[in-house]
Amino acid sequence: MSVHSIFDCIIVGSGPAGYSAAIYTARADLKLILYVGPEPGGQLTTTTEVDNYPGYPQGVSGPQLMEDFKKQAERFGALIKEQTIMSVEFSGKKGGVHKLYTENQEQIQTKGVIIATGASAKYLGLESEERLKGAGVSTCATCDGFFYKGKVVAVIGGGDTALEEAMYLSKLCSKVYLLVRKGQFKASKAMQHRAERISNLEIHFHHEVKEVLGEKFVEAIRVINNQNQQEKTLPVDGLFLAIGHHPNTDVFKRQITLDSSGYIITEKASTKTNIPGVFAAGDVQDSIYRQAITSAGSGCMAALDLERYLLGIN
């Protein structure tokens, strides 16, 4: 096992939060490495068009946006490695040295860590769904709803997030189907009452998607009533999944404080975790906003918090 010299900062993850943190730490002349992890670029790499990120008036593809982030970080001297951190040993004291281990069994020692591993959207596990990701299958109405103005879409889920997505889309789309696997919502009563008053929102309880239909783009979904086993086809232009996210924190379990859903808990108005010198940014600590721009902003915050920590300011 090879051991490197002690770095100032190791960034784990390569979405908007990770790359923004790399840009700021590199510009501060910190000695750093960013490890891209198993999903280089994060969730945005599954998004065909990003139309709401400032600075791109004509829009930009998700992969291209992440490539631009990467190039900017490299321009300032950030070292980026296409490897995954497999395990960690965090020091429990201020000024301590943290140890991280790569898939190649390298031990990396660092004074500071920024965790930006993001969260992965939960999918149904259908082959047809996987094939049409980014071509009509989406997990973010705020990100992609604009492209379905005047069209027909379906939303899957029964919690608050699903109803929020459905209500948002109902303002843009001619019709929205809301498919709920069970016979009732998990969402709050207030959200249910709001949803029931929307005229172009059609709710189907006890329904599940069996197949997403379409060659290059989503054209319809085949659904089944799980009570009577009757199947039908609903013509739709888009399918939005709102069945939850899984924060990518498995590597850090038992090392850092997580909430009941597995998200990293950070101090209010900062990116500090319960471990001195370890910071978290992006969707790995944000279960609410989950936008590229908020992730990028928190990556900047984490870099500034880490720099102040190294200077002994906090």
Tens of pLDDT, residue by residue over 203-225, are 999 999 999 999 999 999 999 99
pTM: 0.78
Average pLDDT over residues 161-169: 91
Q: Is residue 88 part of a domain?
A: yes
Which residue range is the domain that position 229 belongs to?
123-241
Strands 107-115 and 278-280: parallel
Average pLDDT over residues 169-178: 96
Buried b (16+ CB within 10 A) or exposed e, 59-93: ebbbbbbbbebbebbbeeebebeebbbeebebbee
More confident call, 288 vs 202 = 202
Do 110 and 249 lie in one domain? The reply is: yes
Which of the four pLDDT bands, split at 50, 70 and 90, describes residue 170? very high
How many Cα atoms within 13 Å fall on the side-chain side of residue 135?
14
pLDDT beyond 50 at 157: yes
Do 46 and 64 lie in one domain? The reply is: yes
Q: Is residue 171 part of a domain?
A: yes
CATH number at residue 52: 3.50.50.60
Do 115 and 131 lie in one domain? The reply is: no
pLDDT at position 46, please?
Answer: 65
Active site amino acids: 140, 143-144
Do 127 and 235 lie in one domain? The reply is: yes
Among 211, 241, 271, which residue terminates a domain?
A: 241
Do 128 and 237 lie in one domain? The reply is: yes
Q: Is residue 2 part of a domain?
A: no
Return mean pLDDT, the chain.
92
Among 198, 217, 241, which residue terminates a domain?
A: 241
Q: Is residue 1 part of a domain?
A: no
If one counts every other C-beta atom within 10 angstroms of the C-beta of residue 124, the result is 17
Do 109 and 151 lie in one domain? The reply is: no
**CB-CB contact of 201 with 166 (8 Å):** yes
Q: Is residue 159 part of a domain?
A: yes
Average pLDDT over residues 98-126: 93
pLDDT at position 4, please?
Answer: 61
Do 257 and 236 lie in one domain? The reply is: no
pLDDT at position 5, please?
Answer: 84
Do 116 and 127 lie in one domain? The reply is: no
Domain count, the chain: 2
Token output for 287: 């279960």
Average pLDDT over residues 101-121: 93
Do 40 and 116 lie in one domain? The reply is: yes
Do 47 and 195 lie in one domain? The reply is: no
pLDDT beyond 90 at 140: no
pLDDT in tens, 230-276: 999 999 999 999 988 889 999 998 889 999 999 999 999 999 999 99
Among 207, 226, 241, which residue terminates a domain?
A: 241
User: What is the DSSP-derived secondary structure letter of residue 136?
Assistant: T
Helix (H, G, I), strand (E, B) or coil at 194: helix
With pLDDT > 70 as the criterion, what percentage of the chain qualifies?
97
Do 220 and 250 lie in one domain? The reply is: no
pLDDT at position 72, please?
Answer: 96
Give me the DSSP letters along 86-113: EEEE--SSTT--EEEEETT--EEEEEEE
Q: Is residue 225 part of a domain?
A: yes
Do 195 and 59 lie in one domain? The reply is: no
More confident call, 188 vs 239 = 239
pLDDT at position 1, please?
Answer: 44
More confident call, 142 vs 2 = 142
Q: Is residue 198 part of a domain?
A: yes
Q: Is residue 150 part of a domain?
A: yes
pLDDT at position 160, please?
Answer: 83
Which of the four pLDDT bands, split at 50, 70 and 90, describes residue 48? low
Helix (H, G, I), strand (E, B) or coil at 299: helix
pLDDT in tens, 16-39: 999 999 999 999 999 999 999 887
